Each structure stands twice: as C-alpha cells, then as structure tokens.
Structure 1
Amino acid sequence: MIDWPDQLKRDLLARRVVVFLGSGVSKNSIGQDGETRPPLWVEFLNSALEKVGGRGTSHIKKAIKENDLLHACEWLKNKMEEEWPPFLRAKFVDPGFTPAEIHKVIFNLDQRIYLTPNFDQIFENYVNGVTGGLVSVMRYTDPDVHNFLREDRTHIIKVHGSIEHPAELIFTQHDYAKARVSHSAFYDVLDACLLSHTFLFIGCGISDPDLNLLLENHRFNFPNSRPHYLVTSSKVPKDMVNSLRYNRNLKCLTYDSKNHHTELFDSLKVLASIMDNVAPVPAELGVVN
C-alpha cells in the first residue's frame, strides 16, 4: 500500500490538491466490445504507423524507438492529412469507453480542480453523469479558463484539449510550440496553481515537455516549496526518483504494479476515505462575489 504523506492528507482535507490524471488512468477503461482499451502514446503512434504503411517511414520508426514522440506524431499527422481527425476518433471515441472504478475513486478525492492531458472524455462523462452536469469542463483555449483558480465549484481542465475539438489538440512538436506562444496566459495560470496548490499526479509519465518545463521552473524559482507528488510504479529506478525530486520537486509515491495495479486502486480508496466526513464541494455554485 502507498504510504500517503501526512502533508498530502492535510492538503486534501483543505481541498488544496490538484489531481492530475494521465493516460494510465484512462487505460483502465474498456470499450463496448469488452476488449479495447484507450491507447497509450506509443501504442497510438504505432497504430498510426501501421495505417500509413511502411514506405518512407523509417525516420518515424526511429523517432518512436528513441522516444522522440513529438516529432513522430507530427510526421504521422502530416502524412495522414484529412484522415487524422477520423483516426483520432476511431482510437479515442468510437470504442465507447466506459468509466473504470479508478475514475470513481479519484472523483471521491473530492477536490475542486482536476487537470488532465487526456483527449478522451471518459472522466468528465462519468463526473457529469453522477453530478447531473454540474461540474465545469474547460479547455486550455477557453478565454475564461483562468476562473478555475478562484471559483468554488469543481472544475475539470483539459490541458491539451479535447477530442471533440481536434484542431486544438496539443499532440505534436508544432502543437506544443504554438500553444506556449498563443496561450501563454494559460501557462501562467498553471504556474500560479503550482504555487498555491499541491499536485497529485496519477497515471502520468514524466515526458510531457510543457509540464516538465513548468515543474523545473517552479523548482528552481521557489527552491523551498513543499514537494508535489507523483504516484508511480516501484520499478522506477532510484536514480530517476532522486532526479525527479531534485530537478522537479516531485516526490515519488511508489506501489507494486502487479495484479493490474490493484495496490494503486486500494491505496486511492484509503486516501479518498479521509474525505468521507467532510462537506462536499458545492458543485452547483458559480462565481462567488
């Protein structure tokens, strides 16, 4: 079981935790066929590679192998042209993914702010279903997205966009560079959020360029800040654990990933249980003047 830090528990009770859901959370969902699961990034790129065929793709294969995923994705997108949006829907929407138990227990953490880079709509569909649509869902492109920092209602923020708006997805090298310039104010808001809240990363990798830059800037601009927390497999090398703490102020909370990550799910249930006797967030409230 994960040994949850007391400081994280205090922040959770004070609703000062931002829950950050990565693709590893979506991976727990299953499509209507009872088999298909949402792809992780490398899985998605390899399936795109199969679709475009082998001719003239040796450099893309090399990029994927060397973990240069942003360029690989950009080149695949360019090759597919107008077929790119339908391919995205085929992978992230058409299977009809249903929420998993982990989505439910994460929402039971009962925090005001949930951030996710996931394109799919699995988490927000579940949340809107159980709340009657009272939770705000916003994209990084929304002009009033900054309001999530001050409003009392619960927010889900799609930091890389939503599959329903494929032109806005942050998925390639070009997308990342464009977003940093065109939506720099949003990244300022994320920076403020890192200062005012404790982040809990669940189901996340450590390769997101924008997130890494934000964390590294925060670590060295505010060296005495309390750490944020990354929930990860105990298989992560100790050197990497030390680097994450030293360079990004991320404290790793490790668990045994055997038996389909059962230990993670059980640990999250224990963490969520501390919110059982706390008054829920008033999701129906708007801006408090």
Structure 2
Amino acid sequence: MISWPKSLVTEIARRRCILFLGAGVAASSRNAQGERPKEWKEFLKEAAELVLDKNKQKEVNSLIDQNKLLLALQAVYDEAEPSDYQNLLNVSFNDAAFEPSELHKIVFNLDSRLVITTNFDKIYEKQCLSKSMKGYKVIPYYSDSLADEIRSDTRLIIKAHGSIDEVKGMIFTKAQYHHAKERYGSFYSILKALLLTNTCIFIGCGMDDPDVLLILEEVRIAANSDRPHYALFREGSHTEFVKKDLASAYNVRCLEYGPGHDNLIEDLKELEQQIDGMRALG
C-alpha cells in the first residue's frame, strides 16, 4: 500500500492541495453496458479513419505507433472533414451515459477546493454538481474571471484544456497548444503560481503534457525541492529512470500502487480516512 506522507495528508486536510486529474480518471467510468470511455490511443486510431487519403491515413497511424500523438491528431484535424471530426469529438467526450466511478467519488470526498483537469468530458462535474451541497464552478482556461474565482472561497473545477461544451476552445492538437500559449498566457502564469504555492497530486496523468511539464520545470527552478508534488502511478508502469527524472527535473515524487486499479481505490480510501480524522480534530 502507499505510505502517504504526513505532510501531504496535512496539506489535503487543510485544502491546500490541488488535485490534478488526467485521462486515467475519466477511463475509470462505465456506462450501463459496462463500456469505458475511449482511451487516448483508441480515440486516435478511430480519428485516423477520418483521413480519407489512404497514404496519409497510413502516415497518421505510423505517428500514433511512434507515440507522436499531438502531431498525429494535428494531421487528422488538418485532413479530416470538419463535421466528421466534430461528430467524433461529441461521441467520444459528450456521452451522458458514462457515470462517475468509485475513483471520481473518492476524489470528490477528498474535498479539495481546487481541482484541475485536462479532461474534456463532464463526468467529474456530474459527480460534484449532483452531490455537493457547497456549490462548484467549472472554469475553462480562457475565462476572464479565473483569477477572481481562485481568490474566492468557491470550489473550482479548472478545465486546463477546455471542455466538450465549447469545441473551439479545446486544446487538443499541436497548433491549439501553441495558440493557447500565445493568446491565454495569463492562464499559464496563474497555473505556475498555483504550483508554486500549493502541493499538487497528479491522478490518472501520464505526466507527458508539454505545458504542464514546462511549468513544473520552471517551478522546480524557482522553489525549494523539499516540498514535492506527487504523481500516482501503477506499479511497474514507469521505469526507475523516468521516476528519477520526474523527481530531479520537475520535483514530482512518484507514489506507486498496485498491481491493479483496485489497489489505487484501496489506497485512496485509506488516505480519505486519514484526512477525515485530521479534519475531525480541527
């Protein structure tokens, strides 16, 4: 089991810890038929079929096999019929049949004031907006009110890559990454400030988002490494070299669970109990 650092438990109990949710959290959801949302590569393989030129489609699949995922999706975006591409986005990320999983519920119970997610779907929002008596606001990266909301007492879900509600605002392709950095630089300044002043736990994240890694690197240079951020990884999913690099370059300490997904649920339930006990003591 994960041995949760006492300092981390304290930070979460005091609501000074940011929970950062990645695609692995969305993938834990199921619909009534037991189906899960498409994983990243599964979505890309389906998207590649929208490229009608067979030679170009083959090149896109080659990019996917080489793990050049952003470039592959940029190629699909450039070559596919726009209406077909948008339909695929809606089918993949706007399916109300997917229900919050046990993982979504535990994240909700940890009751962090700030949750950041790169997911386009609305599954975690469904959990919060249906169960919370305290009220949540969902704020995309391009919102002019983001800074004011962060300074308030409101519980926030910050959509770092946008939402399926506004397809044109989704950060998905390589060009969209560059456009967002140029036009919404204030968001990345805010994100850097949050990571400088708060501990962050990355849940269900592959730790390969270029924007997040760049900000973590800048924070690592500016801040004391005695207070790391944390990433939850399944046992054996990352090599020792990767874990060492995350620690030295980005000040991210890896906490491993395993061997299966159920072990993460058990570990997080133990964390929830520790936090509830600490909050009960004030």
Q: Tell me the TM-score normalised to structure 2 length.
A: 0.93
Match of 2:101 in 1: 100
Corresponding residue for 1:46? 45
Q: Is 1:8 matched with 2:8? A: yes
Is the counterpart of residue 114 in structure 1 residue 115 in structure 2?
yes
Aligned twin of 1:252: 254
Is the contact between residue 127 and residue 133 of structure 1 (CA under 8 Å) also seen in structure 2?
no
For residues 51 and 31 of structure 1, what CA distance do their matches in structure 2 show? 25
- In the alignment, the residues of structure 2 paired with residue 35 and residue 278 of structure 1 have an alpha-carbon distance, to the nearest angstrom, of 36
Unaligned 5+ runs, structure 2? none
Q: SS of the residue aligned with 1:90?
A: helix
Paired with 2:74 and 2:259, the residues of 1 have a C-alpha distance of 32
Q: Counterpart in 1 of 2:89?
A: 88
Let me know the Cα RMSD of the aligned residues: 1.7
Shift of the 45–244 alpha-carbon distance from structure 1 to 2, 3 Å rule, reads: same
What letter corresponds to residue 248 of structure 1 in structure 2?
Answer: Y
What's the counterpart of residue 64 of structure 2? 64
Given the superposition, is the C-alpha separation of residues 133 and 108 from structure 1 closer, same or farther in structure 2, using an over 3 Å criterion? closer
Paired with 2:257 and 2:19, the residues of 1 have a C-alpha distance of 18
Q: Which of structure 1's runs of 4+ aligned residues deviate more than 2 A?
A: 50-56, 221-225, 274-280
Contact 1:22–1:202 (Cα < 8 Å) also in 2: yes
Shift of 1:274: 2.6
How far does residue 256 in structure 1 lie from its aligned partner after superposition?
1.1
Determine the structure 1 residue equivalent to 2:74.
Answer: 74
Letter in 2 for 1:108: N
Q: 1:201 to 1:138 in 2, by over 3 A?
A: same
Amino acid at match of 2:195: L
Tell me, in whole angstroms, the C-alpha distance in 2 between the residues paired with 1:279 and 1:269. 15
CA contact (8 A) 1:36 1:95 kept: no
Deviation at 1:150, TM superposition (A): 1.5
Q: Give, in whole Å, the separation in 1 of the partners of 2:134 and 2:125.
A: 9
Q: Which runs of 5+ in 1 are unaligned?
A: 281-289
Deviates more, 1:51-60 or 1:80-89: 51-60
Letter in 1 for 2:25: V
Counterpart of 1:37 in structure 2 is 36
Q: Number of aligned pairs?
A: 277
Structure 1 counterpart SS, 2:275: coil
Instruction: Give per-residue Cα distances to partners, 1:200-252, cap 9 Å, x unaligned.
Output: 00000021010011111111222545110000012111111111100110000
TM alignment of 1:198-237, pairs within 5 A = 198-224=199-225, 226-235=227-236, 236-237=238-239
Code of the aligned partner of 2:41: V
Letter in 2 for 1:38: P
Report the AA paired with residue 111 of structure 2: D
Q: Secondary structure at the match of 1:102?
A: helix
| AA of the residue aligned to 2:274 | I
Give me the whole-angstrom Cα distance separating, in 1, the residues matched to 2:141 and 2:62.
31
The equivalences for 1:13-32 within 5 A come to 13-32=13-32
Task: Say whether residues 1:242 and 2:244 are aligned partners.
Answer: yes
Q: How does 1:272-283 map to 2 (within 5 A)?
A: 272-277=272-277
- Match of 1:253, as an amino acid? L
1:73–1:171: 8 Å Cα contact kept in structure 2? yes
TM-score for both structures, normalised by structure 1: 0.91
